[in-house]
Chain A
Amino acid sequence: MYNVIQLLIKYGAHILFVVLEFICFTLIINNNDAQKDIFINSSSILTGKIEEQRSNLIEYNNLKNLNDSLLRENATLIENLITIDYSNDNIPPGDSILSQYSLIPSKIINSTINLRNNYYTLNTGSRQGVKPDMGVVSSHTGLIGIVRNVSENFAHVISILNRQTKISCAIKNRVGHGTLVWDDMDPLRMTLGSIPKHEKIAIGDTIITSGYSTIFPRGILVGTIESYTVPPGSNSFAITVKLFNDLTSIKYGYVIQNRYAEEQSKLEKEVISE
Protein backbone atom coordinates (compact mmCIF):
# COMPACT_ATOMS: atom_id res chain seq x y z
CA MET A 1 0.00 0.00 0.00
CA TYR A 2 2.82 2.33 0.92
CA ASN A 3 4.44 1.60 -2.42
CA VAL A 4 1.22 2.37 -4.25
CA ILE A 5 0.95 5.73 -2.48
CA GLN A 6 4.61 6.44 -3.24
CA LEU A 7 3.95 5.62 -6.88
CA LEU A 8 0.90 7.90 -6.96
CA ILE A 9 2.85 10.77 -5.40
CA LYS A 10 5.68 10.31 -7.84
CA TYR A 11 3.71 9.71 -11.03
CA GLY A 12 0.25 10.99 -10.07
CA ALA A 13 0.44 13.89 -12.50
CA HIS A 14 1.38 11.62 -15.39
CA ILE A 15 -1.33 9.11 -14.55
CA LEU A 16 -3.88 11.89 -14.23
CA PHE A 17 -2.73 13.28 -17.58
CA VAL A 18 -3.25 9.95 -19.29
CA VAL A 19 -6.63 9.47 -17.61
CA LEU A 20 -7.87 12.94 -18.52
CA GLU A 21 -6.67 12.69 -22.11
CA PHE A 22 -8.30 9.29 -22.39
CA ILE A 23 -11.58 10.75 -21.20
CA CYS A 24 -11.24 13.66 -23.62
CA PHE A 25 -10.49 11.45 -26.61
CA THR A 26 -13.35 9.13 -25.73
CA LEU A 27 -15.62 12.16 -25.66
CA ILE A 28 -14.22 13.47 -28.93
CA ILE A 29 -14.66 10.18 -30.75
CA ASN A 30 -18.11 9.54 -29.41
CA ASN A 31 -19.49 13.02 -29.96
CA ASN A 32 -17.87 14.47 -33.08
CA ASP A 33 -18.83 12.94 -36.39
CA ALA A 34 -15.73 14.00 -38.33
CA GLN A 35 -13.32 12.64 -35.75
CA LYS A 36 -15.45 9.54 -35.30
CA ASP A 37 -15.30 8.79 -39.02
CA ILE A 38 -11.54 9.21 -39.12
CA PHE A 39 -11.10 7.05 -36.04
CA ILE A 40 -13.33 4.29 -37.39
CA ASN A 41 -11.67 4.40 -40.81
CA SER A 42 -8.13 4.32 -39.44
CA SER A 43 -8.90 1.53 -37.04
CA SER A 44 -10.64 -0.44 -39.78
CA ILE A 45 -7.58 -0.01 -41.99
CA LEU A 46 -5.49 -1.57 -39.24
CA THR A 47 -7.94 -4.32 -38.34
CA GLY A 48 -8.61 -4.92 -42.03
CA LYS A 49 -4.93 -5.62 -42.61
CA ILE A 50 -4.87 -8.08 -39.73
CA GLU A 51 -8.07 -9.76 -40.88
CA GLU A 52 -6.69 -10.04 -44.39
CA GLN A 53 -3.53 -11.75 -43.18
CA ARG A 54 -5.61 -14.10 -41.08
CA SER A 55 -7.91 -15.01 -43.94
CA ASN A 56 -4.90 -15.56 -46.21
CA LEU A 57 -3.53 -18.03 -43.72
CA ILE A 58 -6.84 -19.81 -43.23
CA GLU A 59 -7.49 -19.86 -46.97
CA TYR A 60 -4.20 -21.59 -47.50
CA ASN A 61 -5.09 -24.19 -44.91
CA ASN A 62 -8.53 -24.61 -46.44
CA LEU A 63 -7.26 -25.10 -49.99
CA LYS A 64 -7.53 -28.86 -49.70
CA ASN A 65 -11.14 -28.75 -48.52
CA LEU A 66 -11.95 -26.20 -51.17
CA ASN A 67 -10.43 -28.41 -53.83
CA ASP A 68 -12.45 -31.40 -52.71
CA SER A 69 -15.68 -29.46 -52.77
CA LEU A 70 -14.87 -28.09 -56.22
CA LEU A 71 -14.18 -31.60 -57.46
CA ARG A 72 -17.55 -32.79 -56.21
CA GLU A 73 -19.23 -29.81 -57.79
CA ASN A 74 -17.47 -30.51 -61.09
CA ALA A 75 -18.59 -34.12 -60.96
CA THR A 76 -22.20 -33.05 -60.69
CA LEU A 77 -21.84 -30.57 -63.52
CA ILE A 78 -20.25 -33.12 -65.82
CA GLU A 79 -23.00 -35.61 -64.99
CA ASN A 80 -25.52 -32.99 -66.03
CA LEU A 81 -23.62 -32.30 -69.26
CA ILE A 82 -23.61 -35.97 -70.15
CA THR A 83 -27.33 -36.12 -69.51
CA ILE A 84 -27.94 -33.07 -71.67
CA ASP A 85 -25.89 -34.54 -74.51
CA TYR A 86 -28.08 -37.61 -74.32
CA SER A 87 -31.27 -35.66 -74.53
CA ASN A 88 -29.88 -33.89 -77.61
CA ASP A 89 -29.51 -37.25 -79.30
CA ASN A 90 -33.31 -37.58 -79.49
CA ILE A 91 -33.37 -40.49 -77.12
CA PRO A 92 -36.58 -40.20 -75.12
CA PRO A 93 -35.59 -38.87 -71.72
CA GLY A 94 -36.49 -41.49 -69.18
CA ASP A 95 -35.58 -41.67 -65.57
CA SER A 96 -33.43 -44.69 -66.25
CA ILE A 97 -31.21 -42.76 -68.66
CA LEU A 98 -31.05 -39.61 -66.59
CA SER A 99 -29.61 -41.45 -63.67
CA GLN A 100 -27.45 -43.85 -65.62
CA TYR A 101 -24.12 -42.20 -65.03
CA SER A 102 -22.58 -40.82 -61.88
CA LEU A 103 -19.05 -39.59 -61.35
CA ILE A 104 -16.56 -40.30 -58.59
CA PRO A 105 -14.02 -37.49 -58.16
CA SER A 106 -10.54 -38.88 -57.70
CA LYS A 107 -7.04 -37.63 -57.26
CA ILE A 108 -4.26 -39.02 -59.39
CA ILE A 109 -1.54 -40.06 -57.00
CA ASN A 110 0.84 -41.80 -59.37
CA SER A 111 1.32 -41.59 -63.11
CA THR A 112 3.63 -42.48 -65.93
CA ILE A 113 3.64 -40.65 -69.23
CA ASN A 114 6.93 -41.43 -70.94
CA LEU A 115 6.57 -45.18 -71.31
CA ARG A 116 5.12 -47.13 -74.19
CA ASN A 117 2.35 -48.33 -71.87
CA ASN A 118 1.33 -45.76 -69.32
CA TYR A 119 -0.70 -46.16 -66.16
CA TYR A 120 -2.27 -44.01 -63.46
CA THR A 121 -3.11 -44.73 -59.87
CA LEU A 122 -6.18 -43.07 -58.32
CA ASN A 123 -6.90 -42.57 -54.65
CA THR A 124 -10.38 -44.08 -54.95
CA GLY A 125 -11.07 -47.78 -54.87
CA SER A 126 -13.78 -50.34 -54.38
CA ARG A 127 -14.82 -48.66 -51.16
CA GLN A 128 -15.85 -45.59 -53.19
CA GLY A 129 -17.56 -47.76 -55.81
CA VAL A 130 -14.84 -47.95 -58.44
CA LYS A 131 -14.87 -51.22 -60.42
CA PRO A 132 -12.74 -52.55 -63.25
CA ASP A 133 -13.67 -51.41 -66.79
CA MET A 134 -14.97 -48.06 -65.73
CA GLY A 135 -13.91 -45.04 -67.76
CA VAL A 136 -11.93 -42.16 -66.29
CA VAL A 137 -12.24 -38.64 -67.71
CA SER A 138 -10.45 -35.46 -66.73
CA SER A 139 -13.60 -33.36 -67.19
CA HIS A 140 -16.26 -33.02 -69.83
CA THR A 141 -13.38 -32.56 -72.28
CA GLY A 142 -10.70 -35.18 -72.27
CA LEU A 143 -10.29 -38.85 -71.52
CA ILE A 144 -7.80 -40.29 -69.06
CA GLY A 145 -8.16 -44.03 -69.25
CA ILE A 146 -9.95 -47.15 -68.14
CA VAL A 147 -9.83 -48.76 -64.72
CA ARG A 148 -8.01 -52.07 -64.80
CA ASN A 149 -7.67 -53.21 -61.19
CA VAL A 150 -9.08 -51.90 -57.96
CA SER A 151 -8.08 -52.41 -54.37
CA GLU A 152 -10.00 -51.19 -51.38
CA ASN A 153 -8.68 -47.63 -51.61
CA PHE A 154 -6.86 -47.38 -54.92
CA ALA A 155 -7.55 -47.94 -58.57
CA HIS A 156 -5.08 -48.79 -61.28
CA VAL A 157 -5.95 -47.13 -64.55
CA ILE A 158 -4.72 -47.89 -68.04
CA SER A 159 -3.95 -44.53 -69.56
CA ILE A 160 -5.27 -43.77 -73.03
CA LEU A 161 -1.56 -43.36 -73.82
CA ASN A 162 -1.21 -47.12 -73.92
CA ARG A 163 -0.82 -49.65 -76.67
CA GLN A 164 -3.86 -51.58 -75.43
CA THR A 165 -6.17 -48.62 -75.68
CA LYS A 166 -8.97 -48.96 -78.17
CA ILE A 167 -11.74 -46.48 -77.66
CA SER A 168 -14.74 -46.20 -79.88
CA CYS A 169 -15.02 -42.61 -81.08
CA ALA A 170 -17.14 -40.65 -83.49
CA ILE A 171 -16.91 -37.29 -85.20
CA LYS A 172 -19.35 -34.77 -83.88
CA ASN A 173 -22.27 -34.04 -86.21
CA ARG A 174 -21.09 -36.61 -88.77
CA VAL A 175 -21.94 -40.25 -89.21
CA GLY A 176 -19.66 -43.20 -88.67
CA HIS A 177 -17.39 -44.15 -85.89
CA GLY A 178 -13.82 -45.39 -85.51
CA THR A 179 -11.29 -46.61 -83.03
CA LEU A 180 -8.95 -44.33 -81.17
CA VAL A 181 -5.46 -45.74 -80.60
CA TRP A 182 -2.13 -44.39 -79.50
CA ASP A 183 0.61 -45.44 -81.83
CA ASP A 184 3.19 -42.69 -81.84
CA MET A 185 4.91 -41.54 -78.68
CA ASP A 186 3.40 -38.04 -78.63
CA PRO A 187 1.37 -37.61 -75.42
CA LEU A 188 -0.75 -34.88 -77.04
CA ARG A 189 -1.86 -36.79 -80.16
CA MET A 190 -3.66 -40.03 -80.90
CA THR A 191 -4.78 -41.72 -84.08
CA LEU A 192 -8.34 -42.42 -85.07
CA GLY A 193 -8.68 -45.29 -87.50
CA SER A 194 -11.36 -47.24 -89.36
CA ILE A 195 -13.47 -44.27 -90.42
CA PRO A 196 -14.45 -45.26 -93.96
CA LYS A 197 -12.80 -43.07 -96.60
CA HIS A 198 -16.09 -42.16 -98.26
CA GLU A 199 -17.17 -40.21 -95.15
CA LYS A 200 -16.81 -36.42 -95.31
CA ILE A 201 -14.48 -35.07 -92.67
CA ALA A 202 -12.60 -31.82 -92.28
CA ILE A 203 -9.63 -30.58 -90.32
CA GLY A 204 -10.85 -29.08 -87.05
CA ASP A 205 -13.78 -31.46 -86.58
CA THR A 206 -14.40 -32.46 -83.00
CA ILE A 207 -13.92 -36.07 -81.96
CA ILE A 208 -16.31 -37.36 -79.29
CA THR A 209 -16.76 -40.73 -77.68
CA SER A 210 -19.32 -42.77 -79.53
CA GLY A 211 -20.90 -44.43 -76.53
CA TYR A 212 -20.80 -47.87 -78.18
CA SER A 213 -19.50 -49.45 -75.02
CA THR A 214 -20.28 -49.53 -71.36
CA ILE A 215 -17.15 -47.58 -70.54
CA PHE A 216 -17.67 -44.01 -71.79
CA PRO A 217 -21.04 -42.36 -72.41
CA ARG A 218 -21.59 -40.71 -75.75
CA GLY A 219 -20.49 -37.13 -76.16
CA ILE A 220 -17.33 -36.72 -74.11
CA LEU A 221 -15.09 -34.41 -76.10
CA VAL A 222 -11.76 -36.02 -76.96
CA GLY A 223 -9.94 -33.74 -79.38
CA THR A 224 -9.91 -32.17 -82.81
CA ILE A 225 -8.77 -33.45 -86.18
CA GLU A 226 -5.31 -32.08 -86.84
CA SER A 227 -4.62 -33.85 -90.12
CA TYR A 228 -5.76 -36.93 -91.98
CA THR A 229 -4.47 -39.17 -94.75
CA VAL A 230 -5.67 -42.22 -96.58
CA PRO A 231 -2.94 -44.81 -96.37
CA PRO A 232 -2.32 -46.51 -99.75
CA GLY A 233 -4.32 -49.68 -100.10
CA SER A 234 -6.54 -48.82 -97.16
CA ASN A 235 -10.25 -48.28 -97.09
CA SER A 236 -10.31 -45.84 -94.19
CA PHE A 237 -8.78 -42.62 -93.00
CA ALA A 238 -5.83 -42.38 -90.64
CA ILE A 239 -6.76 -39.31 -88.65
CA THR A 240 -4.35 -37.58 -86.29
CA VAL A 241 -6.31 -36.27 -83.33
CA LYS A 242 -5.00 -33.50 -81.13
CA LEU A 243 -6.25 -34.16 -77.61
CA PHE A 244 -8.01 -31.46 -75.63
CA ASN A 245 -6.36 -32.36 -72.37
CA ASP A 246 -2.65 -32.50 -71.61
CA LEU A 247 -2.21 -35.84 -69.93
CA THR A 248 1.28 -34.96 -68.72
CA SER A 249 0.06 -32.42 -66.21
CA ILE A 250 -3.17 -33.99 -65.04
CA LYS A 251 -3.95 -34.10 -61.32
CA TYR A 252 -7.61 -34.98 -60.95
CA GLY A 253 -9.97 -37.33 -62.69
CA TYR A 254 -13.54 -38.56 -62.53
CA VAL A 255 -14.40 -42.22 -62.65
CA ILE A 256 -17.57 -42.76 -64.65
CA GLN A 257 -19.93 -45.13 -62.95
CA ASN A 258 -22.37 -46.70 -65.39
CA ARG A 259 -25.22 -48.14 -63.42
CA TYR A 260 -26.34 -50.51 -66.16
CA ALA A 261 -22.92 -51.62 -67.39
CA GLU A 262 -23.22 -55.11 -65.93
CA GLU A 263 -26.71 -55.57 -67.29
CA GLN A 264 -25.62 -54.47 -70.75
CA SER A 265 -22.49 -56.58 -70.94
CA LYS A 266 -24.33 -59.60 -69.57
CA LEU A 267 -26.95 -59.27 -72.27
CA GLU A 268 -24.30 -58.86 -74.96
CA LYS A 269 -22.41 -61.91 -73.75
CA GLU A 270 -25.57 -63.99 -73.92
CA VAL A 271 -25.99 -63.01 -77.55
CA ILE A 272 -22.38 -63.90 -78.33
CA SER A 273 -22.55 -67.28 -76.59
CA GLU A 274 -25.68 -68.30 -78.45
Chain B
Amino acid sequence: MNKYIFPNIIRIIVIFLVQVLIFKQMTFTVDNTIFVHFLIYPLAILLFPVKTPRIILMITGFIMGLGLDLFYDSVGIHAATLVFTAYIRNIVIAFIEPFDKYNVIDVPTIRNLGIGWFVSYLSILLFIHILVYFSIEAFSFVYFFEIFINTIFSFIVSFIIIMLSQLIFRPKF
Protein backbone atom coordinates (compact mmCIF):
# COMPACT_ATOMS: atom_id res chain seq x y z
CA MET B 1 0.00 0.00 0.00
CA ASN B 2 2.86 2.34 0.79
CA LYS B 3 3.99 2.39 -2.78
CA TYR B 4 0.82 4.31 -3.63
CA ILE B 5 1.43 7.14 -1.22
CA PHE B 6 4.35 8.77 -2.95
CA PRO B 7 2.94 8.76 -6.50
CA ASN B 8 -0.34 10.13 -5.24
CA ILE B 9 1.33 13.01 -3.42
CA ILE B 10 3.33 13.83 -6.53
CA ARG B 11 0.20 13.61 -8.66
CA ILE B 12 -1.76 15.89 -6.34
CA ILE B 13 0.98 18.50 -6.49
CA VAL B 14 1.26 18.27 -10.27
CA ILE B 15 -2.48 18.45 -10.85
CA PHE B 16 -2.72 21.31 -8.38
CA LEU B 17 -0.04 23.29 -10.16
CA VAL B 18 -1.48 22.56 -13.59
CA GLN B 19 -4.89 23.67 -12.41
CA VAL B 20 -3.82 26.95 -10.86
CA LEU B 21 -1.07 27.84 -13.32
CA ILE B 22 -2.62 26.82 -16.61
CA PHE B 23 -6.34 26.08 -16.45
CA LYS B 24 -7.21 28.89 -14.09
CA GLN B 25 -6.09 31.35 -16.79
CA MET B 26 -8.22 29.60 -19.40
CA THR B 27 -11.53 30.45 -17.75
CA PHE B 28 -13.66 32.23 -20.35
CA THR B 29 -17.18 33.43 -20.81
CA VAL B 30 -19.65 33.08 -23.65
CA ASP B 31 -21.99 36.05 -24.12
CA ASN B 32 -21.07 37.20 -20.60
CA THR B 33 -23.61 34.73 -19.27
CA ILE B 34 -21.99 31.31 -19.56
CA PHE B 35 -18.87 30.86 -17.45
CA VAL B 36 -16.73 28.01 -18.66
CA HIS B 37 -14.25 26.72 -16.10
CA PHE B 38 -11.65 24.05 -16.74
CA LEU B 39 -11.88 21.99 -13.56
CA ILE B 40 -9.47 19.10 -13.90
CA TYR B 41 -8.38 18.84 -10.27
CA PRO B 42 -11.05 16.27 -9.23
CA LEU B 43 -8.81 13.82 -11.07
CA ALA B 44 -6.46 13.87 -8.07
CA ILE B 45 -9.21 12.43 -5.86
CA LEU B 46 -10.48 10.14 -8.60
CA LEU B 47 -7.15 8.37 -9.14
CA PHE B 48 -6.67 7.21 -5.55
CA PRO B 49 -6.74 3.40 -5.25
CA VAL B 50 -10.22 1.91 -5.23
CA LYS B 51 -10.19 0.83 -1.59
CA THR B 52 -8.83 4.07 -0.15
CA PRO B 53 -10.79 4.96 3.01
CA ARG B 54 -13.15 7.88 2.66
CA ILE B 55 -11.54 9.72 5.57
CA ILE B 56 -8.23 9.99 3.72
CA LEU B 57 -9.98 11.10 0.54
CA MET B 58 -11.94 13.79 2.35
CA ILE B 59 -8.97 15.18 4.29
CA THR B 60 -6.91 15.26 1.10
CA GLY B 61 -9.79 16.94 -0.74
CA PHE B 62 -10.22 19.47 2.02
CA ILE B 63 -6.57 20.49 2.06
CA MET B 64 -6.30 20.57 -1.72
CA GLY B 65 -9.55 22.52 -2.00
CA LEU B 66 -8.35 25.14 0.46
CA GLY B 67 -5.14 25.45 -1.54
CA LEU B 68 -7.13 25.97 -4.74
CA ASP B 69 -9.35 28.51 -3.01
CA LEU B 70 -6.30 30.58 -2.17
CA PHE B 71 -5.59 30.91 -5.88
CA TYR B 72 -9.22 31.29 -6.95
CA ASP B 73 -10.02 33.89 -4.22
CA SER B 74 -13.12 31.89 -3.32
CA VAL B 75 -12.51 30.79 0.25
CA GLY B 76 -14.15 27.45 0.96
CA ILE B 77 -15.99 26.86 -2.32
CA HIS B 78 -13.50 24.46 -3.91
CA ALA B 79 -12.87 22.84 -0.54
CA ALA B 80 -16.57 22.19 0.05
CA THR B 81 -16.98 20.80 -3.45
CA LEU B 82 -13.94 18.57 -3.29
CA VAL B 83 -14.92 17.19 0.12
CA PHE B 84 -18.31 16.36 -1.31
CA THR B 85 -16.79 14.64 -4.34
CA ALA B 86 -14.46 12.67 -2.08
CA TYR B 87 -17.41 11.66 0.06
CA ILE B 88 -19.44 10.26 -2.81
CA ARG B 89 -16.52 8.75 -4.73
CA ASN B 90 -16.66 5.36 -3.04
CA ILE B 91 -20.43 5.22 -3.47
CA VAL B 92 -20.04 5.77 -7.20
CA ILE B 93 -17.27 3.17 -7.36
CA ALA B 94 -19.52 0.63 -5.65
CA PHE B 95 -22.38 1.60 -7.95
CA ILE B 96 -20.49 0.97 -11.21
CA GLU B 97 -18.56 -2.10 -10.00
CA PRO B 98 -17.66 -4.41 -12.93
CA PHE B 99 -18.70 -8.08 -12.96
CA ASP B 100 -15.26 -9.38 -12.05
CA LYS B 101 -15.01 -7.18 -8.89
CA TYR B 102 -12.17 -4.78 -8.05
CA ASN B 103 -8.79 -5.95 -6.84
CA VAL B 104 -7.72 -4.53 -3.51
CA ILE B 105 -4.81 -2.77 -5.11
CA ASP B 106 -6.67 -1.51 -8.17
CA VAL B 107 -6.08 2.09 -9.18
CA PRO B 108 -9.07 3.35 -11.19
CA THR B 109 -7.29 4.02 -14.47
CA ILE B 110 -7.98 3.19 -18.09
CA ARG B 111 -5.15 0.68 -18.01
CA ASN B 112 -6.63 -1.27 -15.09
CA LEU B 113 -10.40 -1.08 -15.60
CA GLY B 114 -10.93 -0.27 -19.28
CA ILE B 115 -11.96 2.84 -21.13
CA GLY B 116 -15.73 2.20 -20.86
CA TRP B 117 -15.61 1.92 -17.10
CA PHE B 118 -13.36 4.95 -16.80
CA VAL B 119 -15.61 7.13 -18.96
CA SER B 120 -18.68 6.38 -16.85
CA TYR B 121 -16.69 6.81 -13.61
CA LEU B 122 -15.19 10.11 -14.70
CA SER B 123 -18.38 11.53 -16.22
CA ILE B 124 -20.55 10.79 -13.17
CA LEU B 125 -18.14 12.23 -10.64
CA LEU B 126 -16.97 15.14 -12.76
CA PHE B 127 -20.51 16.18 -13.58
CA ILE B 128 -21.56 16.00 -9.92
CA HIS B 129 -18.44 17.89 -8.93
CA ILE B 130 -19.01 20.73 -11.38
CA LEU B 131 -22.72 20.90 -10.60
CA VAL B 132 -21.99 21.17 -6.89
CA TYR B 133 -19.27 23.72 -7.58
CA PHE B 134 -21.57 26.05 -9.48
CA SER B 135 -24.39 25.49 -7.03
CA ILE B 136 -22.23 26.55 -4.11
CA GLU B 137 -20.84 29.43 -6.10
CA ALA B 138 -24.35 30.71 -6.90
CA PHE B 139 -25.47 29.71 -3.40
CA SER B 140 -29.14 29.89 -4.32
CA PHE B 141 -31.39 27.71 -6.43
CA VAL B 142 -32.94 30.83 -7.86
CA TYR B 143 -30.14 30.66 -10.45
CA PHE B 144 -30.97 27.09 -11.45
CA PHE B 145 -30.82 27.75 -15.18
CA GLU B 146 -27.46 29.52 -15.04
CA ILE B 147 -26.04 26.78 -12.83
CA PHE B 148 -27.15 24.12 -15.26
CA ILE B 149 -25.83 25.86 -18.38
CA ASN B 150 -22.47 26.61 -16.75
CA THR B 151 -22.24 23.04 -15.53
CA ILE B 152 -22.83 21.51 -18.93
CA PHE B 153 -20.30 23.68 -20.77
CA SER B 154 -17.63 23.36 -18.10
CA PHE B 155 -18.23 19.63 -17.87
CA ILE B 156 -17.65 19.16 -21.61
CA VAL B 157 -14.34 21.03 -21.72
CA SER B 158 -13.04 19.53 -18.46
CA PHE B 159 -14.03 16.04 -19.53
CA ILE B 160 -12.18 16.38 -22.83
CA ILE B 161 -9.03 17.65 -21.12
CA ILE B 162 -9.01 14.88 -18.52
CA MET B 163 -9.68 12.11 -21.06
CA LEU B 164 -6.87 13.40 -23.28
CA SER B 165 -4.47 13.51 -20.34
CA GLN B 166 -5.38 9.95 -19.34
CA LEU B 167 -5.03 8.65 -22.89
CA ILE B 168 -1.66 10.40 -23.29
CA PHE B 169 -0.02 9.62 -19.93
CA ARG B 170 -1.76 6.33 -19.08
CA PRO B 171 -0.73 6.41 -15.38
CA LYS B 172 0.21 3.16 -13.69
CA PHE B 173 -0.51 4.23 -10.14
Chain A residues packing against B (C-beta within 8 Å): 12-13, 16-17, 20-21, 23-28, 30-32, 34-35, 38-39, 42
Contacts and interface: CB of A to CB of B under 8 A. Distances in A.
A12 B74 contact: no
Contact of A17 (B74, B76, B79, B87): B87
Contacts of A42: 140
Contacts of B80: 21, 24-25, 28
Interface in B21-75: 53-55, 58-59, 62, 65, 69, 74-75
Contact of B75 (A13, A21, A32): A32
A27 B76 contact: yes
Contact of B83 (A21, A26, A31, A38): A21
Contact of A24 (B53, B54, B55, B83): B83
Interface centre among B53, B69, B137, B139 (most CB of A within 10 A): B139
Given A13-B53, A13-B54, A39 B79 contact: no
A24 B133 CA distance: 12
Interface centre among B53, B76, B137 (most CB of A within 10 A): B76
A28 B58 contact: no
A21 B84 contact: yes
Given A20-B83, A23-B62, A23-B79, 11 more contacts: A12-B55, A16-B54, A16-B59, A17-B54, A17-B58, A17-B83, A21-B84, A24-B65, A26-B76, A27-B79, A32-B76
Contacts of A30: 75
Contacts of A26: 76
B136 A28 contact: yes
21 contacts: A13-B53, A13-B58, A13-B87, A16-B59, A17-B54, A20-B83, A21-B84, A23-B62, A24-B62, A25-B80, A27-B76, A28-B75, A28-B77, A28-B136, A28-B139, A30-B75, A31-B75, A32-B75, A32-B76, A38-B140, A42-B140
Nearest to A12: B55
Interface centre among A30, A38, A39 (most CB of B within 10 A): A38
Interface string B144-161: 000000000000000000
Interface string B114-132: 0000000000000000000
Contacts of A16: 54-55, 58-59
Nearest to B77: A28
A26 B76 CA distance: 8
Nearest to B74: A32
A28 B53 CA distance: 26
B70 to A, nearest CB: 11
A31 B140 contact: no
A38 B87 CA distance: 26
B55 to A, nearest CB: 5
A36 to B, nearest CB: 9
A34 B143 CA distance: 13
Nearest to A24: B80
A34 B136 CA distance: 11
Contacts of B77: 24, 28, 32
A247 B131 CA distance: 70
Contact of B76 (A13, A24, A34, A39): A24
